[in-house]
Chains A and B, each alone.
Chain A
């Protein structure tokens, strides 16, 4: 059973403000969802016995590329920074950290 303190802790970890009046209903909903997904605990995994999938896209492979073709310096700067809620010159502007 998940508690309201758990919800508060999870909200903190997720960096989401959850209003106090919402915590109880969220707790109940998360609890009912966990009640459903708990059935996963019954899935029987016998280690070593599962042979690999032979489906085509299941081959695990590393995808590498040459570290080449750099773009022009500042080519995308304006496009990207123009989306920021607050900026100062070519910097994102945030509140003081230290």
Chain B
């Protein structure tokens, strides 16, 4: 029996190389856990029937001496990342049974490295949500406390890793959709610099904000996957290689702590955040209070720009080219019925909101103003990074909330993104690292520590993230 709870990518790799177990045995160990736990947790939308065949191919690669760190490593993939020939549904009825006609670039890179895809994971429909309750196929539960949500929108990916139903997972992050579920489930979540990873083959939500990224058990695992997936891609013109060839290494970092509003935040979240800061100071890092004058506008800016991009990105779902189709009296009626019937509530809400902020008479007051304020935010961050190496905040204003607690009030759900949206608006990389727990009704709910760094300085996130892991 393989004890997968102790494995990291590197330790699994060593075992595979030494022949302690094969990739087939490793994959089987994860499939056994999925079979045992996933009927309750519902992290997966589909477990791939050929996972063991993929593992056999990985074993061949290992035998041939051409293995990389990721060869034979079992991954879970979010349902909005294309894998050729497999269903990619974004947990939406409008894409039910849609089979991807090509590989996403991140998929192709993992395939080339010999990774094994265990299955595709549940998510909020089209990645719109913070609890995975907006899936058209039922909610995922938090493996730490099944009465609570796993966060979202990559809740299935975070839950899969947290329940040891995958060694690592990929998610996507438009406003916190990797970091917030990672935080709720006690895993590490990385949103890379905008453009560091290719978006080719992701089902788009907000194209100027979206990034794919890893959800893992350790910061080192996150780093390994980031290194394997990053880089310019001819199929995504916004992707780029890091402009930094040799970044200067620095043992002690200056950590910027913004003066965010503390009222209304969970007491345990704040206490834990302060304790971790103190411990980092104890390790010789320097804390510095910083001011980000426009930070309080972040969430408002996000909930204007993102729906605007949603309304245009989702215009492609018309029941003609692919996906579900409802038949009406004429072509226009086909569109209207298809979109009305197969888009879920939150998706319809965001399309309507996006249409509103872009419409004549409101464009300047909303979209125009939000774009200008986004520039102010970028300016705030570039000024701050002249003084500090990284910026730290909690990942989420609260630990995992109860299932159903926020489903009837969309605005209260949106407020869960308050700390995470800024990194997407500014394009900077951000990581959430588990940093302690809050006791709730006998359950120890994980908390997350968020670190942000300047563009293409993921190295700083990994450096400080490993310190957080060591001192927490």
A residues with CB within 8 A of B: 2, 6-7, 10-11, 13-19, 26, 29-30, 32-34, 36-41, 43, 45, 50-58, 63, 65, 76, 79-80, 83-86, 92, 94-97
Q: Is B427 an interface residue (CB 8 A)?
A: yes
Query: Which B residue's beta carbon lies closest to that of A56?
Result: B455
Which among A14, A30, A80 has the highest number of chain B CB atoms within 10 Å? A14
Give the bracket for the number of chain B residues in contact with chain A: 35 or more
Contact of B193 among A11, A53, A57 (CB under 8 A): A57
How many Å lie between the Cα of A29 and that of B311 in the bound state?
17
Q: Is B11 an interface residue (CB 8 A)?
A: no
| B322 surroundings in chain A (CB, below 8 A) | 83-85
- Minimum CB–CB distance for A97 against chain B, Å: 6
| B335 surroundings in chain A (CB, below 8 A) | 15
Cβ of B355 and Cβ of A14 under 8 Å apart? Answer: yes
Cβ of B336 and Cβ of A56 under 8 Å apart? Answer: no
Query: Which A residue's beta carbon lies closest to that of B350?
Result: A33
Q: Is B372 an interface residue (CB 8 A)?
A: yes
Cβ of B373 and Cβ of A40 under 8 Å apart? Answer: yes
How many Å lie between the Cα of A19 and that of B301 in the bound state?
30
Q: Is B78 an interface residue (CB 8 A)?
A: no
Query: Which B residue's beta carbon lies closest to that of A27?
Result: B352
Cβ of B330 and Cβ of A41 under 8 Å apart? Answer: no
A-contacting residues, B334-383, CB 8 Å: 334-337, 339-341, 343, 348-349, 351-353, 355-357, 359, 365-366, 369-370, 372-373, 375-376, 378-379, 381-382
Cβ of A26 and Cβ of B98 under 8 Å apart? Answer: no
How many Å lie between the Cα of A80 and that of B301 in the bound state?
37
B293-315: CB near A (< 8 Å → 1, else 0) gives: 01011011101100000010001
Give 14 A-B pairs besides A30-B352, A54-B382 with Cβ atoms closer than 8 angstroms.
A10-B355, A32-B410, A33-B410, A37-B300, A45-B373, A51-B379, A53-B378, A53-B379, A55-B381, A55-B427, A55-B428, A55-B454, A95-B331, A96-B330
Q: Is B426 an interface residue (CB 8 A)?
A: yes
Contact of B300 among A7, A19, A40, A86 (CB under 8 A): A40
Cβ of B353 and Cβ of A30 under 8 Å apart? Answer: yes
A55-B426, A56-B243, A94-B334 known; A13-B321 Cβ under 8 A: no
| B355 surroundings in chain A (CB, below 8 A) | 10, 13-14
